[in-house]
Chains A and B, each alone.
Chain A
């Protein structure tokens, strides 16, 4: 039972354009969402998060949008840079839970 889904295993975007990574969830108890970025042979690195009381959070080139009614969130990267090429994981948690539930990841490739 995959509670957090990233249906696009890969995405290719040209440098300077917008990258949009999508994530859907099924557990209505989830109230805090995070995006992690992972380079090969390294652990995931925290990127940005959003609480369910907000619908948007922005940090530099990264913006996360949350649509609670659709149980959908997206990560926008503008402008995309070659160093953004990595696997991006969406994660979620509920209330006082002690664990994150991760999606399967989307591999982003930013081309020159």
Chain B
């Protein structure tokens, strides 16, 4: 497809369960970002990749959060031992380079029960 694709669209997890969220960026896009959007809030930065290199992970809220982009294309955001406060929409975005004109996916809505 032409846009950023995220899967699954919805994920329900029991507290303590591990989850993995996938992002397929637009082909050829060097930069990839993950954001977390809680209900009623704006997106909050989690982490940034340039190709396969994770250049900024300052927004990851705890060491339970881990992201990778091993071949510089598809990225996975993994959350271990999920907690209720992890419930949010997780947005992936990509761009040709940097912050100009980010293209966002539709997000994965994570609900932790």
Contacts of A103 in B (CB 8 A): 42
Interface contact A99-B48, CB-CB below 8 Å? yes
Confirm or deny: B110 has a beta carbon within 8 angstroms of a beta carbon on chain A.
no
Interface contact A41-B106, CB-CB below 8 Å? yes
Confirm or deny: B41 has a beta carbon within 8 angstroms of a beta carbon on chain A.
yes
Beta-carbon contacts under 8 Å, B51-103 to A: 55-56, 58-59, 91, 93, 98-103
Beta-carbon contacts under 8 Å, A68-112 to B: 89, 91, 93, 97-105
Interface residues on B, range: 20 to 34
A46 to B95, CA, bound (A): 11
**Interface residues contributed by chain A, number (CB under 8 Å):** 22
What is the 8 Å Cβ interface bit string for chain B, positions 16-60, against chain A (1 contact, 0 not)? 000000000000000001000000111111001000000110110
Interface contact B55-A98, CB-CB below 8 Å? yes
Contacts of B101 in A (CB 8 A): 46
Instruction: List residues of B whose CB falls within 8 A of some A CB.
Output: 4, 33, 40-45, 48, 55-56, 58-59, 91, 93, 98-107
In the complex, besides A89-B43, A98-B98, A104-B40, 12 extra interface pairs with C-beta distance below 8 angstroms are: A4-B42, A42-B106, A43-B103, A45-B104, A46-B103, A98-B99, A99-B48, A99-B58, A100-B45, A100-B99, A102-B42, A104-B42
